[in-house]
Amino acid sequence: MREIATMAWRHTSRRQGRTTLTVLGIAIGFGAIIAILSLSFGVRRSVEATLSPIASDAIVLPVPREVYDSSSAGQGGIGQGGGLLNRLRASRIETVGIDQEIFNEIISTPGVVSHMGRSTPIPVRAIWRDREIRMTVTAIDPEGEKTLGQIVLDSGSWPGYMEGLASQILLRLRRVSVGDGITLVSDEGERYNLTISGIVGQSREARFGAPPNVPLLITFQTAALFTNDTSFSGIVLSTNGMAEAREVADAVQSGYPNLTVLTFEDFTETIERTLNQYSLFLLSIGVLAVAVAALGSANTMVVSTMERTREIGIMKATGAKNGFVLKGFLLESALLGLVGGVVGVIFGYVGSRILEYLVVRLNIGRLAGAAAGFSPYIPLWLIPFSIILAVTVTLISGSYPAWRASRLDPVEAIRYE
Amino acid sequence: MSNDVVVSLVGVSKIYKIGDQLLRALDRVDLQIQRGETLALMGPSGSGKSTLLNLIGCMDKPSEGKVLIEGKDITSLTHDELAETRALRIGMVFQFFNLISVLTAVENVEMPMVYAGIGTRKTRREKATEALDALGIADKANRLPSQLSGGERQRVAIARAIINKPAILLADEPTGNLDSQTGEMVLEALRRLSAQGQTTLIATHDPDVMAYAQRTLNIKDGRLA
């Protein structure tokens, strides 16, 4: 074996020009794959980091599971004023109501440590700055929001009874300050004067607990003054861990088969599916690059066997078996793959840094569909995996020329000029 | 068959098909070579010399008849068995040296031992160096073929051919590509091997070879005269 390796190494290093070009081809192919995968892994890591705060939560949505699964699942959640619900309504899919009674039962499920619920958007008439306007408000639970929500107060305090939290929407409509008054009018014409207790700050767009997309947030107690129909757009149940969240989700789901109860796993599964499709697309580009590299390697080996036909004849005339010749050429192919793979890893790393520059500096992350800023990421296992794959690919592409070389007739081969 | 018969050809023919035509390169050849014998094989170009050497050298199989090397019929052997026979029982010296260009002189000599799986790396190296020493080129052991003269290359080829102590040493025009002085050195090496009892068959036009050969075979149109 040592002699085969010596010959393979000397042949490879002797033809520097051709070897360098072949190695470059393989390195570019595998470098592209690594850089592309690093993009995909970067997005995945970023999504996981975004979702990890809800790892021990269970989310209850007021739609049957089959409806949720068939809808544009994985988007909306209970943030955005019930984004999913709005879309379901728009597509005339019937939703199930979660009233106060069901809410109370759900939050008393064993294992629930804390909870947060928000109402569906409630249409109201309001008098603000002497003008009557129509708007929607959302009822929130300030205690739950403080622990589980992502509402950040820009100024003021959380609302109490007969108080409201002005959102950025209201702020954009007209300048508003803490202490301002706003009047909500019930269906019966009763007027309720509320005070703005605080202003919601700008929040990063996120999946759960983001500020509802309505101008005013009030407490459930206040909402009960002018509407009897306060149903929940979703409930977040917090537990002590992922396993507990699963148990709570299973318990709630079996008690309320018409609702959808989701855990971290359900979301990652959905996102995983999306990411896999995205990765598959990118990977198909990489596979093309590798196919080109494999063809280059096969071409090098075909030329090499042709050039060395006479040498193969000499080896066979002096006693080399077919297997010896086969091993020699396969080892040469593997050597090209090994060097190409190692250089490819370096190229891949450089490529991923370039992608990072493009993503971070030129802010094209959002174009790539990332939830927030992310940077390409190369997991450690990808390095040996790429090198082994490079060796395997060159072994496969070199197997036919090697086989052909091993089958050469010694008499014919030794006469070859 | 006597134990002293190293090579035996019985009614051997070799027929090549070229297009629609059949070419009979060897025609019912019978031959016996005794152990320790030195033979010169003479004949014009295209007479069948190389075909005969290829068959005795287990590089090819006859179309008809039998080729026996130390009593073993090679016609029934597989590719690998033929390769093993070539490594262990046959030594080949070619007109154009045919050394492996990326291996040094000593590595070239070692290769038949490597093919046959003989010895360790250390013992192989020792044996190969001894063989080069016996041919007077031990000081060139670590040179590549391109760094050697024609005569030196041919002596490396002879060392490679005899390294496994073959039953028969076959040489195809071993001096054909050398000047007379270098050719004489190579012939001297072959002569010494013959004197030591190495069975040798040399295809040649060189009258000096005929002079020391115990027997001269003349071949014409595929038939031994």
Check whether residue A41 and residue A66 sit in a common domain.
no
pLDDT at B112: 92
A158 and A217 in contact (C-beta within 8 Å)? no
Closest CA in chain A for residue B51: A411
* Residue A250 belongs to a domain: no
Helix (H) or strand (E) holding B185: helix B180-195
B143 and B46 in contact (C-beta within 8 Å)? no
Q: What is the pLDDT of residues A142-182, one digit of tens each?
A: 888 887 777 888 888 899 998 999 887 777 767 788 888 88
Helix (H) or strand (E) holding B187: helix B180-195
Q: Does A321 touch chain B (CB under 8 A)?
A: yes
Q: Does A5 touch chain B (CB under 8 A)?
A: no
Q: Is pLDDT at A405 greater than 70 in this prediction?
A: yes
Pairing of strands A131-140, A153-156: unpaired
* Residue B2 belongs to a domain: no
pLDDT at A364: 53
pLDDT at A76: 43
pLDDT at A206: 44
* Residue B72 belongs to a domain: no
Helix (H) or strand (E) holding A181: strand A181-185
The Cα–Cα gap between B197 and B67 comes to 22
The Cα–Cα gap between B225 and A8 comes to 47
Q: What is the pLDDT of residues A100-158, one digit of tens each?
A: 888 888 988 998 888 888 888 888 888 887 888 888 888 988 888 887 777 888 888 89
* Residue B30 belongs to a domain: no
Give percent of chain A above pLDDT 90: 12
* Residue B52 belongs to a domain: yes
Check whether residue A326 and residue A365 sit in a common domain.
yes
Closest of B197, B187, B201, B172 to residue B69, by C-alpha: B201
Q: Is pLDDT at B210 greater than 60 in this prediction?
A: yes
Check whether residue A11 and residue A61 sit in a common domain.
no
Check whether residue A143 and residue A203 sit in a common domain.
yes
Q: What region does A201 belong to: left with phi over 0, alpha with psi -120 to 50, or beta?
A: beta
* Residue B106 belongs to a domain: yes
Boundary of a domain, candidates A217, A238, A259: A238
* Residue B67 belongs to a domain: no
pLDDT at A209: 58
Q: Does A7 touch chain B (CB under 8 A)?
A: yes
* Residue B179 belongs to a domain: yes
Paired residues of B103 in beta bridges: none
pLDDT at A356: 76
pLDDT at B129: 93
pLDDT at B113: 92
* Residue A151 belongs to a domain: yes
Check whether residue A25 and residue A174 sit in a common domain.
no
pLDDT at B184: 82
Q: How confident is the model at residue B168 (pLDDT cuts 50, 70, 90)?
A: very high
Q: What is the pLDDT of residues B92-111, one digit of tens each?
A: 988 888 898 888 999 999 99
Closest of A173, A192, A190 to residue A181, by C-alpha: A192
Boundary of a domain, candidates A238, A254, A280: A238
Question: For residue B158, what are the domain limits?
Answer: 38-61+79-224
In the structure encoding, which two tokens stand for residue A82, read together?
A: 């019930």
Q: Is pLDDT at A357 greater than 80 in this prediction?
A: no
Helix (H, G, I), strand (E, B) or coil at B177: coil
Residue among B102, B112, B121 minimizing CB distance to A318: B112
ipTM: 0.90
**How many Cα atoms within 13 Å fall on the side-chain side of residue A123?**
2
The Cα–Cα gap between B80 and B98 comes to 21
* Residue A259 belongs to a domain: no
Check whether residue A202 and residue A302 sit in a common domain.
no
* Residue A256 belongs to a domain: no
Q: Is pLDDT at A343 greater than 70 in this prediction?
A: yes
Q: What is the mean pLDDT of residues A177-204?
A: 83
The Cα–Cα gap between B91 and B114 comes to 15
Residue among B83, B99, B107 minimizing CB distance to A321: B83
Check whether residue A231 and residue A361 sit in a common domain.
no
* Residue B129 belongs to a domain: yes
Q: Which residues contact B6 (CB under 8 A, 6 or more apart)?
A: B33, B34, B35, B37, B69, B70, B167, B168, B199
Q: For residue B215, give how far its alpha carbon lies from the nearest alpha carbon of chain A (Å).
A: 26
CATH code assigned at B54 = 3.40.50.300
Encode burial over A67-104: b for 16+ CB neighbours within 10 A, e otherwise.
Answer: bbeebebbebbbbbbbbbbbebeeeeeebbebeeebbe
Residue among B92, B102, B110 minimizing CB distance to A317: B92
Q: What is the mean pLDDT of chain B?
A: 88
Q: How confident is the model at residue A391 (pLDDT cuts 50, 70, 90)?
A: very high
Boundary of a domain, candidates A196, A221, A238: A238
Q: Tell me how many domains chain A contains.
A: 2
Question: For residue A372, what are the domain limits?
Answer: 2-49+271-415
Q: Is pLDDT at B217 greater than 80 in this prediction?
A: yes
Q: How confident is the model at residue B142 (pLDDT cuts 50, 70, 90)?
A: very high
Check whether residue A37 and residue A111 sit in a common domain.
no
Q: For residue A416, give how far its alpha carbon lies from the nearest alpha carbon of chain B (Å).
A: 12
Q: What is the mean pLDDT of residues A209-235?
A: 81
The torsion angles phi and psi of A113, rounded to 5 degrees, stand at -90, -45
> CB–CB of A322 and B84 under 8 A?
no
Q: How confident is the model at residue A279 (pLDDT cuts 50, 70, 90)?
A: confident
Q: How confident is the model at residue A19 (pLDDT cuts 50, 70, 90)?
A: confident
Closest CA in chain B for residue A1: B114
Check whether residue A68 and residue A164 sit in a common domain.
yes
Check whether residue A314 and residue A231 sit in a common domain.
no
pLDDT at A207: 45
Q: Which residues contact B121 (CB under 8 A, 6 or more apart)?
A: A2
Q: Is pLDDT at B1 greater than 50 in this prediction?
A: no
Among A242-256, A371-385, B105-119, which stretch is predicted with the lowest mean pLDDT?
A: A371-385
For the purposes of burial, counting CB atoms within 10 Å of the CB of A145, is it exposed (0-12), middle (13-18) or buried (19 or more)?
buried
Q: Is pLDDT at A218 greater than 60 in this prediction?
A: yes
Structure-derived torsion over alpha carbons of residues A328, A333, A339, A340, reported in degrees to the nearest 10: 180
Q: What region does A10 belong to: left with phi over 0, alpha with psi -120 to 50, or beta?
A: alpha
Closest CA in chain B for residue A310: B98
Give percent of chain A above pLDDT 70: 87
Residue whose pair of structure tokens reads 């890893």 in the numeric block: A345
Q: What is the pLDDT of residues A32-86, one digit of tens each?
A: 888 888 887 887 787 777 777 778 888 888 888 777 777 644 444 444 334 555 5
pLDDT at B3: 58
Q: What is the mean pLDDT of chain A?
A: 81
Q: How confident is the model at residue A350 (pLDDT cuts 50, 70, 90)?
A: very high
Check whether residue A359 and residue A218 sit in a common domain.
no
| Mutation target vs A (from B86, B93, B168, B172; most A CBs, 10 A cutoff) | B86
Q: Which residues contact A374 (CB under 8 A, 6 or more apart)?
A: A42, A43, A45, A46, A359, A365
Q: Tell me how many domains chain B contains.
A: 1
The Cα–Cα gap between A357 and A307 comes to 45
pLDDT at A367: 46
* Residue A158 belongs to a domain: yes
In the structure encoding, which two tokens stand for residue A395, read together?
A: 């072994």
Check whether residue A93 and residue A207 sit in a common domain.
yes
For the purposes of burial, counting CB atoms within 10 Å of the CB of A242, is it exposed (0-12), middle (13-18) or buried (19 or more)?
middle
